[in-house]
Amino acid sequence: MASAAYAGTLAWLYRLERQHGIDLKLERVRRAAAALGHPERAAPTVHIAGTNGKGSTAAMVATMLGADGRRVGLYTSPHLVSFRERIVVGGVPISEEAVVEGVARLRRALGPVPDLTCFELITLLGWLHFADAGVEATVLEVGLGGRLDATNVVTPEISVVTNVGMDHEAFLGNDLTSIAAEKAGIIKPGVPVVSGADGVAGDVVAARAGVLGCRLEVHGRDFGMTEESDGTLVYRSPAGVRGPLEVGLAGRHQRVNAALAVRALELAPALTPSAPAVVAGLAGVRWPGRLQLVRREPLVLLDGAHNPAGVAALVAEIEARAVGRRVRVLFGVMRDKGWETMLRALAGIAEEIVVTRPRQPRSAEPNALAAVISCPHTICDDPVAAYRMLLARSAPRDLVVVTGSLFLVGDVLPIVDPARAADAARERAAAELAGRC
């Protein structure tokens, strides 16, 4: 099937996105799922919410289950380069043909222009694809919040809340208590819960689990992963000790995500993998755009940290890696994020910051970003030109960090990985058809 049909299908979805925006409700998805024969019930599910680390945790869960010989459906958002990354079976993204045929099937079943948001339709497309593929397990990452997120019509085997921080305040509330309540909204009666939330947010998660009669296990209290004196990683939980282990994703924060992923599967008997699958899955997991090393001279890291908590974790990692190196940052962000806090943290370690505009309608204005930066900085609207400019003036020993948004990482990835260039071109064609950019 010609890629023009695929671009046209994406353009139709993106026009819906522009028309409806973000409209958090569950009734529409419930009705649509029932009309489709409840594809969301096709396989046992791991449901993952949280402010940061959802995608990494989901990838680890899926990789461990895959290493155990299971056919796994993985649903995540947003994508970096290709829409197809959102819906994956057995490590293989949904095909262009399946996207076109699946959306056409949804329109036949639900009406030519269903009364659903773009994200709701994509979620339904994922469930249909997983059901058609005969997956034996589904791993669902929440899109936004949890309580009213389209994914929240499932009753999973296990619920995971990775952590809670300030993000999406316009939709989730202006304090941690409110935001945590939205994240904890994925918790279902009697379904076990694994949590990485602490402080007041942890209290909210615990209260929700208690009211609904759920077993709750908390990272750092009931289980965790530690680095031993010899440098090896060891995981401990009520199920026993596992180690030595290796985590395929860089960053100390990924050890927390790994521990959450392992404990989630330990508490889901229908999904618990073998010990060798846990070892192989954690070591073999790959998740682009998270402290991803793409070049060595200069050292270039891509990290989709997109809120203050994510940038704080990134800064800690940079400080550990940047000894003897000048740090140069390419920064682009969505306007609804806490970018002033993010930029203050990055300015504390950067020799220079180049601010740009990711190719996404919600991008913040670079001039506004530049006005709050306290270190040397430059404005370059085009993210590709900005990356090339920064790279050209970096010395071999410098450390270049691309961060602020997964959308910015997605803009840069096709430059460092030419194999993604065709995907990027199709995405641009769809966006232009939809008038999205």
What per-residue confidence (pLDDT) applies to 113? 85
pLDDT in tens, 261-290: 999 999 999 999 999 999 999 999 999 999
What per-residue confidence (pLDDT) applies to 429? 83
Q: Are strands 399-403 and 87-89 parallel, antiparallel or unpaired?
A: unpaired
What per-residue confidence (pLDDT) applies to 1? 40
pTM of the shown model = 0.95
What amino acid occupies position 222?
Answer: D
Scanning the structure block, which residue is given the tokens 């990924």? Answer: 254
Which stretches of the chain score pLDDT less than 70?
1-2, 436-437
What per-residue confidence (pLDDT) applies to 2? 47
Triad 31, 104, 86: Cα angle to 5°: 80
What per-residue confidence (pLDDT) applies to 436? 55
Give the distance from CA 335 to its chain's centroid.
Answer: 18
Which among 253, 258, 199 is positioned nearest to 223, based on CA atoms? 258
Name 244's Cβ contacts closer than 8 Å, sequence gap at least 6. Answer: 228, 232, 233, 234
Alpha-carbon gap, residue 294 to 308, rounded angstroms? 24
**Which parts of 30-129 are beta strand (E)?**
45-49, 72-75, 87-89, 92-93
Alpha-carbon gap, residue 434 to 422, rounded angstroms? 19
Alpha-carbon gap, residue 281 to 11, rounded angstroms? 36
What amino acid occupies position 149?
Answer: D
What domains are there in the chain, each with its CATH number?
Answer: 3-284 (3.40.1190.10), 292-434 (3.90.190.20)
Alpha-carbon gap, residue 326 to 399, rounded angstroms? 6
Alpha-carbon gap, residue 31 to 29, rounded angstroms? 5
Triad 223, 191, 181: Cα angle to 5°: 80
Q: Is there a contact between 255 and 247 (Cβ–Cβ < 8 Å)?
A: yes
Alpha-carbon gap, residue 67 to 83, rounded angstroms? 25
Long-range contacts, stretch 26-29, CB < 8 angstroms, 24+ apart: 26/148, 26/150, 26/152, 26/153, 28/115, 28/116, 28/117, 28/120, 29/116, 29/120, 29/123, 29/124, 29/150, 29/153
Which among 68, 36, 189 is positioned nearest to 136, based on CA atoms? 68
User: Would you give the DSSP letter of residue 349?
Assistant: T
- Edge-first strand order for the sheet with 233-237 is 224-227, 233-237, 240-245
pLDDT in tens, 174-221: 899 999 999 999 999 999 999 999 999 999 999 999 999 999 999 999
Name 119's Cβ contacts closer than 8 Å, sequence gap at least 6. Answer: 17, 22, 77, 143, 144, 150
Which among 437, 358, 346, 436 is positioned nearest to 400, based on CA atoms? 346
Paired with 433 in beta bridges are none
Element (H, E) at 62: helix 54-67
Element (H, E) at 159: strand 158-161
What per-residue confidence (pLDDT) applies to 160? 98
What per-residue confidence (pLDDT) applies to 155? 98
What per-residue confidence (pLDDT) applies to 279? 97
Residue 244: Cβ within 10 Å count: 12
pLDDT in tens, 121-142: 999 999 999 999 999 999 999 9
What per-residue confidence (pLDDT) applies to 391? 95
What per-residue confidence (pLDDT) applies to 261? 98
